[in-house]
Amino acid sequence: MSVKPDFAPSRDQTSEPEVRPRLRTRAAVGFAAWSLLLLVGFIVGVARFAVGPYLSREIRGRLRDEVALAALSVDVETVARLVADEPQTGPLYESVVAQLRAARDRITGARFVYIVHQGADGKIYFVADAEESPEEVSLPGSVYDDAGPLLRQVVGSLASPGVEEDFYVDQWGTWLSAYAPLRTADGTLVGILCVDLDADNVRSQESAFLRLGALALLIAAPLAAGGGWLLGRNLTAHLGALVTAVERVAGGDLNFEIPLPPEAEAAQLAAAFNVMTRRLRELVATLEERIAERTADLERQTAYLRATGEVSRVAASLLDLDELLSQVVRLIPEQFGFYHAGIFLLDETREWAVLRAASSEGGQRMLARGHRLAVGAQGIVGYVTQTGRPRIALDVGEDMVWFDNPDLPETHSEMALPLIVGGQVIGALDVQSTDVGAFRPEDIRTLAILADQLAVAIANALVFAQRQEAMRELQRTYAQDLHRGWSDFMAQLSLRGYRYTPRTLEALGKGGDGVSAAPLTAPRVLPDNTLLVPVMIGGLELAVLQVRRPPNRPWVDEEISFALRTAQELAQALESARLHQEAQRRASQERLASEIASQLRRSLDVTTVLQTAVAQLGRLPGVAEATVHVTLPDSVAPAAEEVSS
């Protein structure tokens, strides 16, 4: 007597003595249809509830990242000028349009790229549009009536990049739009960068996945139907094992396979089902790999954006050139993981690229000895500073331009980017890595944007330094003029101050008993309870207030502050009086000069003119004698005539 397999019911366990052919056919057809529906439901469910939402989030996330990256490439200061008071045509406008077109070319699927801002009346106006077609371009200053819901809501307060929640329809079609704020260095929102994706483009990406699912369905459907047919034929013997297998697969366990039974028919069914699960497993694994790769790319792009933002923030916040360069070369290796970063600036002759900041130990040694490279003659940096074009050596051993630097022996790949301001090269950003082929396309794009921002920051720092030096020179000149003016003014005074007591108010002569102390810069109390307060204007001590009181009444802060305010008011009043007297003196001199000129023009006789001149000069204050000597060449006059008064 033979023993039946555990998963096959015996004849005694069936409700009928044998399975009729008609029943087996019906069961086979029904189970085949059920298996096919199960497969379709599984694939549709995965597409609808798992991959579909992920693709939607991925598309919107990628669009948000790309519009944020594009905003970094726009010259915000130029946009601010277009919005404020510059005519929205000409070179400035064309430069912004060129930047928008470049951003449009970099953004996958972008149809329209433009900049808008909110006017004083609350409406949204176009600033610049990347569109070339005259029929579709939005002219600067025109009202944007078809703005998306999110743009209308945040046009005056957008803080970070955003994407519309859903498609919206305007006169040009159906779009998915993203926005990024354009802010100046002081944080002022001057405009919003807008990017429109055609809805058909977005839906085509989703349709591509659906086609992949349909292909998988077409591949798996015959297998499922065949397996269901065979399983239905052996329903009475293997129904329990099949239900278990289907439940496991439907539950997500794609690694489960049916053990092959000894019967040929059951073995074929089990093998077919196992093939189906393997195909599904391979399909899901491939999809998971693609999702993982895309996720890794997005994470890397996010990290680059974060790093670029950090470096850009530092570059925009520092105006001291040395500190700016030091911070940037420190942040680039930290954020991007490179071996060395250095910044070269051209000298005044524009013949040498001088290393101004470096991150590595070798770079510090180069700085200490004043490392420099000849423009156009030495290494990648020399090439970049001459041509104004980036240069990348993915394997420095094979690059003919590369300069073998003994201070950086571990370098295997190098990239140099020009620092350009106003179309003129001012230096280069040099980045080196210990890996061969270390620079990916996203590295190059990110560092190119960073180099542009760094160049602007360096130019701002240089302008700031020049203005500071001009301010210091102006202050020195003002101090010299002030000191000279007060020296002349004091020389004319016959007294040196006044002394007040409850009984008298007396003047102090030039030889008076004034305070014989070192110059004061702040109030001071002497041991005898005398308060000394300097009277100062522009850093020059004009006088000293001396206030004495009994020792039993010490000075308090409020009284000292009052005395200091009094000294400040006195200084302003003295300066105003001096300037007034100086103005009067100059006016008197101008009147006297005018009178002398008038007197001189009244006569055409040389003797009379000379006599009038010395007579009028004798009227000047303090003049004891005035003389004019007429000196002619010997060939003209044998002697000089002298007229005195």
Instruction: Determine how many CB atoms are found less than 10 A away from the CB of residue 259.
Output: 11
* 67-198 and 328-467, same CATH topology: yes
494: left (phi over 0), alpha (psi -120 to 50) or beta: alpha
CATH number among 3.30.450.40, 3.40.47.10, 3.40.190.10, 3.60.9.10, domain 328-467 = 3.30.450.40
Does the structure show a pLDDT above 50 at 629?
Answer: yes
Residue 223: partners with Cβ closer than 8 Å, 6 or more residues away = 272, 275, 276, 279
Of 329, 581, 337, 309, nearest to 438 by C-alpha is 337
Q: Quote the pLDDT of residue 193.
A: 92
Residue 412: partners with Cβ closer than 8 Å, 6 or more residues away = 395, 396, 397, 433, 434, 435, 436, 438
- Give residue for tokens 């007597």: 1
Minimum mean pLDDT among 168-172, 317-321, 513-517, 637-641: which range? 637-641
Q: Let me know how long the chain is.
A: 645
Give per-residue burial for 344-354: e unless 16+ CB within 10 Å, then b.
bbbeeeeebbe
Does the structure show a pLDDT above 90 at 596?
Answer: no
Tell me what the mean pLDDT of segment 228-255 comes to: 62
Instruction: Determine how many CB atoms are found less than 10 A away from the CB of residue 330.
Output: 16
Q: Domain 67-198 adopts which CATH fold?
A: Beta-Lactamase (3.30.450)
Q: Quote the pLDDT of residue 13.
A: 37
Helices and strands, counts by H and E, the chain:
14, 19
Are the beta carbons of 592 and 620 closer than 8 angstroms?
yes
Q: Quote the pLDDT of residue 195.
A: 92
Three-class SS state of 292: helix
Percent share of the chain, pLDDT over 90 = 8
Highest mean pLDDT among 7-21, 262-276, 405-419, 438-452: 405-419
Q: Quote the pLDDT of residue 114.
A: 92
Highest mean pLDDT among 298-302, 480-484, 530-534: 530-534
DSSP state of 108: T
Does the structure show a pLDDT above 50 at 3?
Answer: no
Which one is predicted more confidently, 378 or 15? Answer: 378
Minimum mean pLDDT among 85-89, 260-264, 289-293, 513-517: which range? 513-517
CA distance 303 to 299: 6
Q: Could you report the per-residue pLDDT of 27-75, keeping only the tens digit for each? A: 666 666 666 667 666 666 655 555 556 667 788 888 888 888 888 888 8
Highest mean pLDDT among 244-258, 320-334, 591-605: 320-334
The values of phi and psi at residue 201, to 5°, are -65, -45
CA distance 567 to 545: 7
Q: Could you report the per-residue pLDDT of 170-183, keeping only the tens digit for each? A: 877 888 899 999 99
The two tokens of residue 602 are 């009244």
Residue 574: partners with Cβ closer than 8 Å, 6 or more residues away = 535, 537, 542, 543
Are the beta carbons of 452 and 407 closer than 8 angstroms?
no
The two tokens of residue 570 are 């006195």
The one-letter code for the residue type at 531 is L
**Alpha carbon of 59 to those of 64, 103, 203: distances in Å?**
9, 17, 10
User: Which residues are bridge partners to 498 per DSSP?
Assistant: 507
Instruction: Determine how many CB atoms are found less than 10 A away from the CB of residue 10.
Output: 10
- Give residue for tokens 């108010």: 505
Three-class SS state of 233: helix
| pTM to 2 decimal places | 0.41
**Alpha carbon of 27 to those of 9, 246, 432: distances in Å?**
16, 16, 70
Q: Could you report the per-residue pLDDT of 533-563, keeping only the tens digit for each? A: 888 887 777 788 888 888 888 888 898 899 8
Q: Could you report the per-residue pLDDT of 344-369, keeping only the tens digit for each? A: 999 989 999 999 999 888 889 999 98
Q: Could you report the per-residue pLDDT of 295-349, keeping only the tens digit for each? A: 877 776 776 777 677 777 777 777 788 888 888 888 888 877 888 999 999 998 9
The one-letter code for the residue type at 431 is V
CA distance 429 to 409: 19
Greatest extent of the chain over all pairs of C-alpha atoms, in Å: 165
**Residue 540: CA count within 13 A, CB half-sphere:** 19
CA distance 174 to 170: 7
CA distance 41 to 39: 5
Instruction: Determine how many CB atoms are found less than 10 A away from the CB of residue 578.
Output: 18
CA distance 413 to 427: 20
Which one is predicted more confidently, 142 or 595? Answer: 142
Q: Could you report the per-residue pLDDT of 372-399, keeping only the tens digit for each? A: 988 987 688 889 999 999 888 887 766 5
Does the structure show a pLDDT above 50 at 7?
Answer: no
Domain ranges of the chain: 11-51+205-301, 67-198, 328-467, 603-644
